[in-house]
């Protein structure tokens, strides 16, 4: 076991580097999603694992978006985003929306795959689920902004398997064996 302790008080520099932090974080599995915002021909989308459910009353989620991401200012400007949870087989889409194929902005979107729910942010038709959100809070967090979104519409394909990202690779969790319950 590799234990690295940050000295107290917390104002001092931590005993681990940001590279070591990133190396530890590689072990944390995350649901792979695409956060979209804007309307054609000014749509933006980015692959994102830093998102989660926040509250059930009101129904809300949070997503952590790098300030340098193409969609960041459009989420602020439009006050809306759609959080699309990707399914098994969406690896290429996740790579496209993280810029790995060199694409940027609206060109990443394929008209066939997307629709609008309430806010107009693109909702992926074959996502495991999509949460269409109005931004209710934006919090500065260093390199990222934490956007809190109240869910105003949602769509679901519960038969699809969610895609996760862990240790630098895409994976699909096994469905629990029903005979164990």
Ligand X SMILES: Cc1cc2nc3c(=O)[nH]c(=O)nc-3n(C[C@H](O)[C@H](O)[C@H](O)COP(=O)(O)O)c2cc1C
Write the binding mask 1 to 40 for ligand X: x where contact by CB under 6 A, - elsewhere: -------------------------------x--------
Q: Closest Cα partner for 63 from 88, 89, 37?
A: 37
CB-CB contact of 166 with 28 (8 Å): yes
Residue 62 interacting with ligand X (CB under 6 A): no
State in angstroms the smallest separation of the CB of 33 from ligand X.
Answer: 8
Residue 65 interacting with ligand X (CB under 6 A): yes
Q: Which is nearer to ligand X, 4 or 103 (CB)?
A: 103
Burial (CB count <10 Å: 0-12, 13-18, 19+), residue 142: exposed
Considering just the CA atoms, what is the radius of gyration of the chain in Å?
18
Applying CB under 6 A, among 16, 39, 50, 152 the residue interacting with ligand X is 50
Applying CB under 6 A, among 38, 70, 122, 149 the residue interacting with ligand X is 70
CA distance 10 to 28: 23
State in angstroms the smallest separation of the CB of 8 from ligand X.
Answer: 29
Phi, psi dihedrals of residue 96, rounded to the nearest 5°: -60, -45
Considering only residues 119-178, where is the footprint of ligand X by CB under 6 A? 165
CB-CB contact of 170 with 32 (8 Å): yes
Residue 49 interacting with ligand X (CB under 6 A): yes
Binding footprint of ligand X on the chain (CB under 6 A) = 32, 44, 46-50, 64-66, 69-71, 98-99, 104, 165
């Amino acid at each position: 076991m590799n234990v690295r302790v940050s000295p107290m008080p917390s104002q001092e520099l931590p005993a681990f580097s940001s590279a070591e932090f990133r190396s530890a974080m590689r072990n944390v599995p995350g649901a792979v999603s695409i956060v979209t915002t804007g309307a054609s021909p000014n749509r933006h989308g980015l692959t994102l694992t830093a998102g989660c459910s926040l509250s059930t009353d009101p129904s809300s989620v949070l997503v952590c978006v790098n300030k340098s991401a193409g969609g960041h200012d459009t989420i602020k400007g439009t006050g809306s985003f759609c959080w699309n949870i990707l399914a098994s087989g969406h690896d290429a889409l996740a790579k496209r929306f993280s810029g790995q194929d060199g694409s940027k902005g609206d060109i990443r979107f394929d008209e066939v795959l997307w629709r609008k729910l309430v806010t107009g942010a693109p909702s992926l038709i074959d996502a495991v689920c999509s949460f269409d959100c109005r931004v209710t809070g934006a919090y500065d967090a260093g390199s990222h902004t934490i956007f809190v979104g109240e869910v105003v519409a949602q769509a679901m394909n519960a038969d699809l398997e969610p895609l996760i990202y862990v240790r630098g690779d895409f994976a699909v969790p096994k469905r629990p064996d029903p005979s164990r319950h």
